[in-house]
A and B are shown apart, each in its own frame.
Chain A
Amino acid sequence: MTELLLQSLYSGALVGGIYALIALGLSLAFGTMRIINLAHGELVLLAAYVAYTVESRLGVNPLVALPIALVVVCACAAIVYFLVARLTRYRELNSLMLTFALGVILTNAMLMIWSSDIRSTGNATLQDAVQIGSVYSMVSELLFFVLSLAVAALLGWWLSRSWYGRAVRAVSSNRDAAKLMGINPARVELASFLVAGILATIAGVAIYSSSVISPPLGHALTVKAFIITVLAGVGSVPGVLLAALLLGITEAMTVTLFSSALQELAGMVLFLLVLFVMPNGLFGASRRRG
């Protein structure tokens, strides 16, 4: 039983790492512009498909696709931003509909380009098993878990120490005051969307390297990211990491201790529980002014 639980904890944490990569981008955009980008999952998936294309055409490790995927996904993220930025009335509701529509367009574009077939990396190294004590994982899962911790740390540093990072926090806190202080909110919001695009790219390559992708996956990723963002609380990077790990472990433990048929239910129950007990999320920030 101990071995079972250890493997469950380990697998859950690894999956949580990938969830964190997916959710960080959504959380950043939400924190800065108070916009839920319902096309975020599709951006992640787009990066995965770019990785697939590079691997299948060039026969190289999908990690090599990162630079190309970054360009493609960040360009799409910029387009999403420019469209959303044009909304002036009922922004929160209209942005939901707009980004949902963009998500549908992206899904169908990916379907037309890459067809409905399921895809997964054939790279033997990434699929190799790694054993640490009595627990096992794929090389790709461990690699991207470590990367997710590094990315979260880097993002935290960027938000707290870099000029643009502090500007993002300022705009998130009080847009008008930030403007008065000489910060260009539009430029900062674009920067946050681009950073969200970078995070989505890393997440997409991670998913392609360790799992199976198909065009309808984007929607499920957005929902997962949204749950984690709400669990974490607005504007908290450590919160996203913790919430993602919590979700991953909850799901894995449910499978091990109860039934795998209850995995998704367990995630939703956790979501509702946290909302009831801590409505602002685990590390929720205070309300934005302005």
Chain B
Amino acid sequence: MHNKPGIRAKTLLTIGIAAASFGAQAEEFMVGAHMPLTGAIARSGTAFNEGIQAAVDVFNRTNGKHTIKYVAIDDESAPAKAVAAVEKLAPQGAVAIIGGYGSNIIGPASDAANRLKLTYITAGGVGEELTKRGYKTFFRVNNTAGYQRATETLLKEMDAKSVSIVYSTKEATAELAKAVEKDMSAKGVKVFLHPFDPAITDFKPIINKIKLQDKSEVLMMSAYENDYVGILRAAKVLKPPVKSVIGMWSLAVPKMASDFPDLMPSVIGTAMLPYPVEYQNAEGKQFAETYKRMFNKEVDYLSQFGFVKATLLFEAIARAADNGALKAGGLSEELRKTDRDTLIGRVTFDASGDNPNFQQRMGQHDNGKIVIVSPASAANGKLKYPSVPW
């Protein structure tokens, strides 16, 4: 006689094993991104995008099982187009979104991703409001606090008694300026704020106020590339009696030194890396080699940010796919389990998706190189102070 219960059990067992093994098979996952590849912040978006592409290359070569298909859509530095990009990527099968640059763009785009239940990771949105929305899908590897700490550490090391802050009224730049003002004023430093509309091109009236009224020791710029050039040109003409010029993101990069050699000497900006870059660890060397092969140029800190956020996401996707959580919408929870040393330091994500470990550094332009000058513990060169480009 046939043993029907026994046959049934074996059949069920076979099906179960097949189903379990199906969940762990090699798969290709599509990851989408909205990036400012054109528009006012395209330089930053392009650097991010290149770093991400390098991360895709490294992951696909080294993972040995899963692969990533990366699709980037140009958001043209415009919030509405970033939202449209996210909404286009979702039905195309994106399992996650990598965000672009600029808190005013990241905000709406991550709103859209959250509505569509897509995990969203960025290194380009440091505005405080981004992590106060209660989204479980939002993650970022850097934040205003990290930039603020770096700036205040530098001002303290300079022993500056007064600072004039020229800042764009865009969200992240304004937030950072006001946060620095609040902290430094509490420490007895005189701070003068000069907000400007992003459309401004002639900064001479502002610089003249700094020269004739503020008479401060340090000129700080919380702005973007095109603003930095305008501010520095105006300062070269009017020559305010400041002792140093500090900027924020996208300033201490080699391209600024090569494109505007007359404006960059001794200017300080945020930079995780010196230039030329020399990585000591295997991951860094692999990134640098891959980047050089793909783009025939040296890495900079923006491309490094792109690489780090993408790598963390891809690793989380692979883990989630392997443990069956990806299809059940568990990618965000898997990403939240991240605790890893990366090229920008240790990265973990708290309940709001922020990386509480983030600490920026300050680099100073010096004859075509970028020297890390602050904090003193991470410096690879001496701070030139007082020193200005004129």
Contact = CB atoms under 8 A, between A and B. Distances in A.
Interface in A1-44: 3-4, 7-8, 11-12, 15
B236 A120 contact: no
B203 to A, nearest CB: 8
A117 B196 CA distance: 22
A260 B209 CA distance: 11
A273 interface: no
Contacts of A122: 260-262
A118 B233 contact: no
Interface in B42-73: 42-43, 46
A118 B195 contact: no
Interface string A84-113: 000000000000000000000000100100
Interface string B177-215: 000000000000000001111011110111011001100
Contact of A263 (B43, B199, B208): B199
B208 A216 contact: no
B77 interface: yes
Interface stretch (A61-69, A207-215, A231-239): A207-215
A49 to B, nearest CB: 15
A259 B38 contact: no
Contacts of A255: 196, 200, 205-206
B236 A7 contact: no
A136 interface: yes
B77 A216 contact: yes
A137 B237 contact: yes
A263 B200 contact: yes
A122 to B, nearest CB: 7
A211 B43 contact: no
Nearest to A129: B237
Contact of A214 (B194, B226, B262): B226
B236 A129 contact: yes
A218 to B, nearest CB: 12
A127 B233 contact: yes
Interface string A123-137: 010010100000011
B230 interface: yes
Nearest to A128: B237
Given A7-B204, A11-B202, A117-B259, A261 B195 contact: yes
B30 interface: no
Contact of A111 (B38, B230, B233, B236): B38
Contacts of B237: 129, 136-138
A83 interface: no
A220 B205 contact: no
Contacts of A211: 201-202, 230
Given A11-B204, A117-B42, A216-B38, 15 more contacts: A11-B205, A108-B38, A117-B255, A122-B261, A122-B262, A127-B233, A127-B236, A129-B238, A136-B204, A216-B40, A256-B205, A259-B195, A260-B200, A261-B169, A263-B199
Interface of B: 37-40, 42-43, 46, 77, 169, 194-197, 199-202, 204-206, 208-209, 212-213, 225-226, 229-230, 233, 236-239, 255, 259-262
10 contacts: A4-B208, A117-B255, A120-B229, A137-B204, A259-B194, A260-B200, A260-B205, A261-B169, A261-B196, A263-B200
Across the A-B interface, give the 8 residue pairs with the lowest CB-CB distance, nearest first: A116-B42, A260-B196, A255-B205, A261-B195, A129-B237, A11-B204, A7-B208, A256-B205
